């Protein structure tokens, strides 16, 4: 295995976790020399340019949104800290809901209120429907040829439309139901065993394994390969894509690969490519042979390879093997951590609030009794479950800053001038906790606040946007929600849950860490005890 891996494992320095890297940068003698040199050159040439050339300042109507003062070269990078969503929230209290930041060389706007989110993601959505090019996804996702990190344009529009129709439609979500049931049944059986001996279960771990198995079976057809450690490989890829990469903000540092990320990305992406090649070839050969296995995402994508995917589009786009691989990778990246982390937070809040747990168990038991397990078709009857999920996603939008957008053309919004290529960061975490919208108990977990307010996440409401909004909002909402609901309903219906002996509901640690998503900083542990009257598995 490559040596760089341990660095990321030991110090999970994700997306914008700047400080450790900046420190490391300064500690390394080689790097610090370069850094000092570049700093000097840059500052020197910048000031000479200003002094000698006196470039005309265009001041009229070019007012930037307010923001904190910046340092040369790094701008505001040093201010982001280890939990950027929290730091940005407190900065926005000082500078306002539309705030300017300078992330190295990249100008950025940070949005921190639902009103501002509506303006950027609804009124001006089309102008912000692109994604910035990020080195990690360029290297891992075949030059961002998939869907999630792909720039706005005819290709992305066609792929998005195709995926929405063929992979995320209601009928497809239902078609994958048996996979969810099968995998969840396996977990319930193993928890029953744990329950017999009063074992403490690593809930974070079993939930992640469950979601991985469901997602891999749905997307790839199976979750295990003899030749490859699929899960480990993807987890390494996820860490690298989520890592804070200085080169994304100070591009001319990229050539030095100071963090070793480029090398690590190339290595992981080569293995992932071999794996995806194997999977696609396997599907191409199997299509005519045994038709009895269920259809997965690879089948659907392979069936349209080399064909036009969007007949209305005058450019007549054809997707090739590389596109298929990139789309598959993006789907895996988008589906696993989001769903697993959501479930982790919901269970944590239920364990902290026995009253809510009891209400939820009663609601489910009133519908299905205590003699059988929950089935997916029961889910639509559970209103309180919806409230619990909406409340958790409000407090823990698992992608707290969504996925960054990029301004396509310069624009003036609320008298603020925003130039093209400005990065748009939407602080969904701050929006969900805005006391002006959610009243002074905004920080409290209180599902009842949703009693008369059913969220549908279809882009009309901006008070809580865990799935984003507008053209780039999550296309997997239905799929994600049904999985999360089913898992929660089943686990609280089949089991009572207790925290380990030394932890009480009021002192359960609820700290998060920052990466592609915000999982719990400490893994959740709990003791299940089986609560159904008759064990009934078919
Ligand atoms: C609870 C589960 C999930 C949550 C909270 C979630 C959240 C999000 C968020 C916040 C975004 C960015 C939206 C934006 O930029 O405005 C996103 C994008 C995306 N999600 Fe999800 N997601 C979930 C599940 C899934 C699943 C299960 C899939 C697919 C199997 C999926 C596929 C995608 C894709 C492809 C994108 C990129 C869309 C684009 O750029 O056009 N998501 N998701
Ligand atoms: C829980 O599982 C994770 C891996 O998913 C592991 O890193 C962690 O150490 C486990 N925690 C305990 C206390 O066993």
Tens digits of residue pLDDT in 243-255: 888 899 988 888 8
Taking the alpha carbons at both ends of the chain, their separation in whole angstroms is 42
What is the reported pLDDT for 492?
A: 98
Interval 125-139 mean pLDDT: 93
Rounded to an integer, what distance in angstroms lies between the CA atom of residue 252 and that of residue 266? 19
Interval 28-51 mean pLDDT: 51
What is the reported pLDDT for 33?
A: 47
Interval 348-370 mean pLDDT: 97
The pLDDT-based confidence of 43 (bands split at 50, 70, 90) is low
Interval 192-197 mean pLDDT: 96
The closest alpha carbon to 465, from 437, 507, 494, belongs to 437
Residue 335, ligand 1, Cβ within 6 A: yes
Average pLDDT of the chain is 88
Q: Is the pTM of this model over 0.85?
A: yes
The closest alpha carbon to 156, from 406, 400, 459, 428, belongs to 406
β-pairing, 525-530 vs 405-406, is: unpaired
- Residue 121 Cα: closest atom of ligand 1: 16
Tens digits of residue pLDDT in 145-166: 999 999 999 999 999 999 999 9
User: If residue 320 lies in a helix (H) or strand (E), which one and from where to where?
Assistant: none
- Please name the residue ranges forming H helices in 369-524: 383-395, 428-432, 435-438, 477-494
Tens digits of residue pLDDT in 260-293: 899 999 999 999 999 999 999 999 887 655 556 6
β-pairing, 106-111 vs 423-426, is: parallel
The yes-or-no verdict on residue 114 having pLDDT over 60 is yes
- Residue 403 Cα: closest atom of ligand 1: 15
The yes-or-no verdict on residue 217 having pLDDT over 70 is yes
Question: Residue 360 in 3-state DSSP?
Answer: helix
The pLDDT-based confidence of 31 (bands split at 50, 70, 90) is very low
The yes-or-no verdict on residue 10 having pLDDT over 80 is no
The closest alpha carbon to 479, from 160, 173, 161, 172, belongs to 173
Atom 6 in ligand 1: residue holding the nearest Cα: 467
β-pairing, 416-418 vs 201-202, is: unpaired
Angle at CA 118, nearest 5°, toward 116 and 122? 135
Tens digits of residue pLDDT in 467-506: 999 999 999 999 999 999 999 999 999 999 999 999 999 9
Report helix angle 203-220 to 477-494, nearest 10. Answer: 140
The pLDDT-based confidence of 195 (bands split at 50, 70, 90) is very high
The yes-or-no verdict on residue 99 having pLDDT over 70 is yes
The yes-or-no verdict on residue 20 having pLDDT over 70 is no
Name every protein residue with a CB atom under 6 angstroms from any ligand 2 atom: 202, 204-205, 208, 523
Question: Residue 327 in 3-state DSSP?
Answer: helix
Tens digits of residue pLDDT in 385-432: 999 999 999 999 999 999 999 999 999 999 999 999 999 999 999 999
What is the reported pLDDT for 35?
A: 56
Rounded to an integer, what distance in angstroms lies between the CA atom of residue 287 and that of residue 413? 52
Q: What letter would DSSP give residue 123?
A: I
What is the reported pLDDT for 17?
A: 38
Residues 6+ apart with CB under 8 A from 447: 356, 384, 387, 388, 390, 391
Atom 6 in ligand 2: residue holding the nearest Cα: 205
What is the reported pLDDT for 255?
A: 85
Residue 152, ligand 1, Cβ within 6 A: no
What is the reported pLDDT for 27?
A: 36
Kindly state the greatest CA–CA separation across the chain: 85
* HEC letters along 192-212: HHHHHCCCCEEHHHHHHHHHH
For residues 244 and 17, the answer to whether their CB atoms sit within 8 Å is: yes
Residue 432, ligand 1, Cβ within 6 A: no
Q: Under CATH, to which class is 4-530 assigned?
A: mainly alpha
Report helix angle 261-286 to 321-352, nearest 10. Answer: 110
Domain boundaries, the chain: 4-530
What is the reported pLDDT for 18?
A: 36
């Amino acid at each position: 295995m490559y040596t760089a891996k341990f660095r990321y494992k030991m110090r999970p320095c994700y997306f914008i976790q700047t400080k450790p890297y900046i420190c490391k940068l300064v500690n390394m003698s080689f790097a610090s020399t370069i850094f000092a040199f570049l700093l000097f050159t840059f500052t020197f040439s910048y000031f000479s340019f200003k002094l000698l050339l006196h470039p005309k300042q265009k001041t009229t109507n070019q007012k930037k949104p307010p923001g904190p003062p910046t340092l040369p070269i790094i701008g505001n990078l040093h201010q982001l800290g280890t939990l950027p969503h929290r730091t940005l929230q407190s900065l926005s209290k000082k500078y306002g809901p539309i705030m300017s930041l300078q992330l190295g060389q990249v100008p950025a706007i940070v949005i921190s209120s639902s009103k501002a989110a509506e303006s950027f993601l609804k009124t001006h959505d089309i102008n912000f429907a692109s994604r910035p090019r990020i080195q990690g996804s360029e290297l891992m996702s075949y030059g961002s040829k998939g869907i999630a990190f792909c720039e706005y344009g005819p290709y992305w529009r066609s792929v998005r439309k195709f995926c929405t129709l063929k992979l995320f439609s209601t009928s497809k979500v239902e078609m994958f139901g048996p996979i969810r049931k099968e995998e969840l049944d396996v977990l319930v059986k193993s928890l029953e065993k744990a329950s017999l001996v009063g074992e403490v279960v690593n809930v974070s771990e079993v939930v992640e394994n469950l979601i991985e198995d469901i997602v891999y079976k749905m997307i790839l057809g199976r979750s295990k390969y003899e030749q490859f450690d699929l899960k480990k490989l993807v987890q390494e890829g996820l860490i690298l894509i989520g890592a804070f990469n200085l080169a994304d903000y100070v591009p001319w540092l990229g050539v030095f690969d100071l963090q070793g990320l480029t090398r690590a990305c190339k290595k992981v992406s080569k293995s992932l490519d071999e794996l995806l090649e194997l999977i696609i070839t396997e599907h191409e050969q199997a299509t005519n042979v045994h038709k009895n296995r269920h259809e997965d995402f690879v089948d659907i994508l392979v069936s349209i390879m080399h064909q036009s995917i969007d007949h209305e589009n005058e450019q007549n786009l054809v997707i090739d093997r590389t596109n298929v691989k990139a789309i598959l990778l993006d789907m895996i990246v988008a589906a696993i951590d989001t769903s697993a982390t959501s479930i982790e937070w919901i269970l944590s809040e239920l364990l902290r609030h026995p009253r809510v747990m009891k209400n939820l168990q009663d609601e489910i038991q009133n519908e299905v009794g205590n003699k059988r397990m929950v089935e997916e078709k029961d889910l639509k009857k559970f209103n309180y479950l919806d409230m619990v999920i909406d409340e958790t996603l409000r407090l823990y939008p698992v992608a707290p800053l969504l996925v960054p957008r990029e301004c396509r053309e310069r624009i003036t919004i609320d008298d603020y001038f925003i130039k093209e290529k400005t990065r748009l960061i939407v602080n969904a975490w701050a929006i969900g906790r805005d006391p002006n919208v959610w009243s002074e108990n905004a920080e409290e977990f209180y599902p009842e606040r949703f009693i008369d307010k059913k969220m549908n996440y279809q882009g009309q409401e901006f008070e809580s946007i865990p799935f984003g909004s507008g053209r780039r909002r999550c296309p997997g909402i239905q799929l994600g929600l049904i999985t999360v609901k089913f898992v929660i309903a089943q686990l609280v219906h089949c089991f009572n849950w207790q925290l380990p002996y030394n932890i009480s509901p009021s002192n359960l640690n609820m700290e998060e860490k920052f990466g592609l998503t915000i999982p719990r900083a400490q893994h959740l542990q709990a003791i299940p005890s089986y609560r159904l009257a008759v064990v009934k598995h078919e």
